[in-house]
């Protein structure tokens, strides 16, 4: 028993404002230390109530008193051993359901208590109204007060309630369990009564309840000295469990929850928006069983319009700056250093600037993609997307959880493969990792943008959307085949998902997300892509005849690059892109998908710099003026394209023909900025073979890093299956598109 | 009438489709917060498992994390020994 001043303890769940209330009660009269032998912080303070000196102890926040954690043990031991005169049970008034389980457990300890309904202002704002009197009646008459610790509201009432509790006028709280359980408690409590040393420490009813619940902490503490008592508890518990048909511990917990449910019904009313939240209203449409999927697809369509078309003016602008002024400046500098026309100039302009610059051009595309994803993620929609697609996955016999790694695959295949660790069965992990490679990662997007913009103009977004859909379809078909032919088994158990409320995305969060991902992209451009660009340039400069006198003087077809590509090229002829250059581009894509764009720039746009250099002499001032002017143009065109998403989306509906904004002619701007690369590509590809090429890029072997991740996660054999399967599917897909297109008269020329 | 703990667990064992916590609460005629508490009981007992985004991002690499999205918190039957609340951030090595 505590001597000297009275001690009161604050107990409650974490984040209920317990410490704020403690501060409000004790002011600056605080001492902070650790609980004996523990690293858990112990806060103690002093206050006075009616001239009485009171010690206030802030117990660690816990969810129960089941002794599962250090905090729970500290809180329980303090209440039992230190015997505070009063316990203030602090609950979050807006979330009473989540706090009453612990409150019940504390009240069952039979220590005088006060219930503080803290943060009651927040509860009122959310339309949650509590009836303290009804609550008090349900909890055995303990004083119940509403408080707002942060503003010191309700402190006087709380102090008055503490005094009432100190007077000991209320009866100990006894939750009424099932009659059979009550009989068991009574029998065991009677036996406990025979041990006065136990009843001196523990309330007999509480100890009986804990022993019947088989509380590990209490049982371990008493097992050695009181084996007969523990044995009796086990026998009683077993008899009750056999009669009632379940474990006694579960039955007791269950009756606590039933009790909490009845307390909530009797003392809590919800008004206004608290009945159905705005998020729930939105979810009735967005996660609707039938409409949810078409709405998801429509939203994705808008995302790809946004990504491909809105970013296009800035892609052209960066392209213009890199292939124009920057290349000219580099050439001028190298000429000034006496290296003009040498292999060094070729390496810098045709190799490094064309390769790395060709990739950096797509920063706007990825910025807009990640902006769209960040907005969807921050708003809370992404969680819904996973939820909606779970149903589709199940229809196809796949595990619902597989969608989440697949969703991640739209960003990058590598983390998608690691994300399969959340799946419990190895076969699900392997299968999902296998399918994740068909989700079109961010690195593939620039390739689509190049071909879609060049061959389909304003309809580029449609092709890109179709490619993303194709990836999903191929993944689902593959999954369905594998699940039904290779991995037959029981359907997976469902899950319950906690959908976060919708909220307005914050600018800082969105910008942080974009910055992080773009930084990574730029980092890759200056490491992997730079290295690959140099290697590709070297292969294109080295003559296949090994005659070093022809170094950097040979055509692509006579270079090592041409020789290697020429071996693979015939295999792609049925798909409409059997040129060695195209084959070489695809071979380079094994390393990383971004390399494809770098290689395309080097092969098809390699002479642009030279031409720009020789045909358009200009001063530094001219260049800077041009950069600023074209930036302004790009900004206007971006706004125009953003506005045009609306009419373009609406015009998909039959009978709708809304006009599009046309401040500046987009085609003229594009033509001005497009260089020899576009001309070379239109000569090398037809619209049909371009589509076949992008289909191949979508489906074929993921990058080297993804294959490494696959080897680490699933083994070499599985990785090799992946290489062979994806290459085969990509080839079949590209050939089917090209040959099918020819059959339909879509033309190869 | 509040559903029993067993009824809550039975949903996870017998139903064939995923639900949001709110939908399940509506189906079982219970306040979502109380349902979450009852699910929490089964999580503590090891019968259910909580999987979700809570642990992702805790590795301190969230700014440059390539994951395009965090995962919503989900509850499912714990049918093996995977630890609860497991994260998978590849950079944290978890």
Test mutation, B7, B35, B37, B92, chain A, max A CBs within 10 A: B37
CB of A73 less than 8 A from some CB of B: no
pLDDT, tens digit, 9 for 90 and up, residues A689-747:
999 999 999 999 888 778 888 888 888 898 999 899 999 999 999 999 999 999 988 76
Distance from C-alpha of A186 to C-alpha of A190, rounded to nearest angstrom: 6
Inter-chain CB proximity A98 and B37 less than 8 Å: yes
Give, in order, the Cα–Cα distances in Å from A706 to each of A89, A220, A363, B56, B59: 53, 50, 22, 21, 21
Task: State the pLDDT confidence band at B52, using cuts at 50, 70 and 90.
Answer: low
Distance from C-alpha of A109 to C-alpha of B52, rounded to nearest angstrom: 35
Task: Give me the CATH number covering residue A244.
Answer: 1.10.287
B86 within a domain of the structure (yes/no): no
pLDDT, tens digit, 9 for 90 and up, residues B2-41:
899 999 998 888 877 778 888 888 888 888 889 989 998 8
Among A3-12, A78-87, A163-172, A297-306, top mean pLDDT goes to A78-87
Residues A299, A234 share a domain: no
Inter-chain CB proximity B24 and A496 less than 8 Å: yes
A499 within a domain of the structure (yes/no): no
Q: Could you tell me the residue range of the domain that residue A114 belongs to? A: 6-167
Inter-chain CB proximity B44 and A500 less than 8 Å: no
A749 within a domain of the structure (yes/no): no
Residues A311, A184 share a domain: no
Domain boundary among A139, A167, A195: A167
Test mutation, A261, A497, A500, chain B, max B CBs within 10 A: A497
**How many domains does chain A fold into?**
3
Q: Could you tell me the residue range of the domain that residue B42 belongs to? A: 5-58+65-77
- Eight-class DSSP state of A127: T
**Chain A window 358-397: which residues touch B at a Cβ cutoff of 8 Å?**
370, 373, 377, 382-383, 386-387, 390-391, 394
Higher pLDDT, A373 or A317: A317
| pLDDT for A400 | 65
* Whole-complex ipTM: 0.78
Segments of chain B assigned E as strands: 19-20, 48-51, 74-77
CB of A101 less than 8 A from some CB of B: yes
Domain boundary among A241, A274, A307: A274
Residues A624, A679 share a domain: yes
Give, in order, the Cα–Cα distances in Å from A605 to each of A177, A297, A545, A600: 81, 36, 25, 7
Higher pLDDT, A471 or A140: A471
Residues A370, A265 share a domain: no
Residues A736, A599 share a domain: yes
Task: Give me the CATH number covering residue B73.
Answer: 1.10.10
Question: Is A97:B33 a contact under the CB 8 Å cutoff?
Answer: yes
CB of B5 less than 8 A from some CB of A: yes
Task: Give me the CATH number covering residue A48.
Answer: 3.40.50.300
Residues A647, A525 share a domain: yes
Residues A154, A66 share a domain: yes
B73 within a domain of the structure (yes/no): yes
CB of B7 less than 8 A from some CB of A: no
Inter-chain CB proximity A494 and B16 less than 8 Å: yes
Distance from C-alpha of A479 to C-alpha of A392, rounded to nearest angstrom: 12
Closest in B13, B21, B69 to A498, CB measured: B21
Whether pLDDT at A389 is above 80: no
Inter-chain CB proximity B90 and A260 less than 8 Å: no
CB of A499 less than 8 A from some CB of B: yes
Segments of A21-85 assigned E as strands: 30-34, 41-49, 52-58
A283 within a domain of the structure (yes/no): no
Closest in B6, B67, B76 to A495, CB measured: B76
Residues A141, A67 share a domain: yes
pLDDT, tens digit, 9 for 90 and up, residues A679-695:
888 888 899 999 999 99
Segments of A365-450 assigned E as strands: none
Residues A106, A34 share a domain: yes
A172 within a domain of the structure (yes/no): no
Whether pLDDT at A611 is above 70: no
Domain boundary among A167, A192, A220: A167
**Chain B window 34-93: which residues touch A at a Cβ cutoff of 8 Å?**
34, 36-41, 44-45, 51-52, 62-77, 79-80, 82, 86, 88-90
Residues A185, A163 share a domain: no
pLDDT, tens digit, 9 for 90 and up, residues A5-25:
789 999 998 888 888 888 888
A280 within a domain of the structure (yes/no): no
Residues A473, A371 share a domain: yes
**How many domains does chain B fold into?**
1
Residues A252, A158 share a domain: no
């Amino acid at each position: 028993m505590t001597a000297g001043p009275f001690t009161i303890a604050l107990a409650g769940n974490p984040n209920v404002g317990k410490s704020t209330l403690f501060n409000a009660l004790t002011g600056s009269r605080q001492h902070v230390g650790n609980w004996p032998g523990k690293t858990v912080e112990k806060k103690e303070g002093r206050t006075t109530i009616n001239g009485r000196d009171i010690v206030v102890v802030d117990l660690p926040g816990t969810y129960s008193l089941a002794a599962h954690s250090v905090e729970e043990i500290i809180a329980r031991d303090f209440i039992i051993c230190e015997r505070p005169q009063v316990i203030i049970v602090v609950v979050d008034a807006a979330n009473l359901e989540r706090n009453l389980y612990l409150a019940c457990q504390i009240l069952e300890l039979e220590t005088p208590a006060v219930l503080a309904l803290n943060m009651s202002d927040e509860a009122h704002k959310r339309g949650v109204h509590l009836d303290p009197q009804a609550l008090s009646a349900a909890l055995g008459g303990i004083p119940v007060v509403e408080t707002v610790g942060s503003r010191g509201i309700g402190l006087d009432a709380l102090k008055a309630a503490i005094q009432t509790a100190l007077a000991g006028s209320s009866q100990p709280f006894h939750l009424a369990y099932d009659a059979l359980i009550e009989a068991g408690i009574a029998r065991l409590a009677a036996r406990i009564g025979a041990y006065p040393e136990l009843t001196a420490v523990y309330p007999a009813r509480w100890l009986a309840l804990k022993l019947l619940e088989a509380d590990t902490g209490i049982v371990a503490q008493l097992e050695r000295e009181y084996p007969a008592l523990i044995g009796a508890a086990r026998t009683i518990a077993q008899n009750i469990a056999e009669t009632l048909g379940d474990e006694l511990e579960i039955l007791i917990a269950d009756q606590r929850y039933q009790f909490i449910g009845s307390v909530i019904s009797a003392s809590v009313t919800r008004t206004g928006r608290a009945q159905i939240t705005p998020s729930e209203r939105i979810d009735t449409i967005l996660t609707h069983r039938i409409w949810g999927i078409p709405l998801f697809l429509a939203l994705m369509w808008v995302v790809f319009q946004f990504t491909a078309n809105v970013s296009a003016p800035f892609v052209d602008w960066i392209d213009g700056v890199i292939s124009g002024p920057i290349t000219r400046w580099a050439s001028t500098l190298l000429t000034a250093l006496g290296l003009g026309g040498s292999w060094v100039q070729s390496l810098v302009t045709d190799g490094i600037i064309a390769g790395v610059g060709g990739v950096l051009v797509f920063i706007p595309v990825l910025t807009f993609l990640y902006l769209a994803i960040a907005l969807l993620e921050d708003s809370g929609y992404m969680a819904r997307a996973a939820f909606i697609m779970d149903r589709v996955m199940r229809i196809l016999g796949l595990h619902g959880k597989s969608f989440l790694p697949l969703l991640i695959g739209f960003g990058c295949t590598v983390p998608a493969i690691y994300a399969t660790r959340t799946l419990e069965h190895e076969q699900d992990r392997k299968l999902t990792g296998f399918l994740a490679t068909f989700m079109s990662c961010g690195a593939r997007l620039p390739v689509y943008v190049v071909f879609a913009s060049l061959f389909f103009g304003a309809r580029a977004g449609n092709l890109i959307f179709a490619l993303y859909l194709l990836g999903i379809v191929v993944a689902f078909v593959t999954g369905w085949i594998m699940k039904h032919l290779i991995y037959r088994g029981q359907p997976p158990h469902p899950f319950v998902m906690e959908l976060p409320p919708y909220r307005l995305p914050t600018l800082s969060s969105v910008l942080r997300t974009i910055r992080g991902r773009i930084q990574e992209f730029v980092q890759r451009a200056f490491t992997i892509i730079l290295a690959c660009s140099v290697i590709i340039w070297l292969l294109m400069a080295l003559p296949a005849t090994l005659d070093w006198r022809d170094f950097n003087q040979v055509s692509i077809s006579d270079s090592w690059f041409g020789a290697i590509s020429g071996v693979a090229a015939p295999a792609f002829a049925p798909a409409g892109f059997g040129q060695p250059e195209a084959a070489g581009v695809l071979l380079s894509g094994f390393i990383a998908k971004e390399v494809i764009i770098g290689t395309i720039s080097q092969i098809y746009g390699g002479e642009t710099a030279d031409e720009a250099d020789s045909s358009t002499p200009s001063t530094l001032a001219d260049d800077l003026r041009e950069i600023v002017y074209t930036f302004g143009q790009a900004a206007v065109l971006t706004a125009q394209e953003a506005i045009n998403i609306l009419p373009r989306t609406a015009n998909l509906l039959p009978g709708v023909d809304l006009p599009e904004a046309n401040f500046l002619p987009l085609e003229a701007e594009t033509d001005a900025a497009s260089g020899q690369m576009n001309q070379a590509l239109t000569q090398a590809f037809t619209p049909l073979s371009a589509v076949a090429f992008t289909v191949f890029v979508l489906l074929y072997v993921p990058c080297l890093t993804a294959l490494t991740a696959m080897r680490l996660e699933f083994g070499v054999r599985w990785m090799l299956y992946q290489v062979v399967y994806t290459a085969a599917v990509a080839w079949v897909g590209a050939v089917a598109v090209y040959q099918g297109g020819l059959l339909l008269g879509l033309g190869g020329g | 009438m509040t559903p029993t703990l067993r009824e809550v667990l039975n949903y996870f064992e017998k139903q064939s489709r995923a639900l949001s916590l709110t939908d399940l609460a509506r189906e079982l005629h219970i306040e979502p917060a109380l349902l979450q508490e009852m699910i929490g009981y089964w999580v503590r007992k090891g019968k259910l498992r909580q999987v979700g985004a809570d642990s992702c991002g805790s590795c301190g690499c969230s700014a440059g994390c390539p994951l395009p999205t965090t995962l919503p918190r989900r509850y499912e039957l714990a049918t093996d020994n995977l630890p609860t609340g497991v994260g998978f951030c590849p950079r944290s090595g978890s």
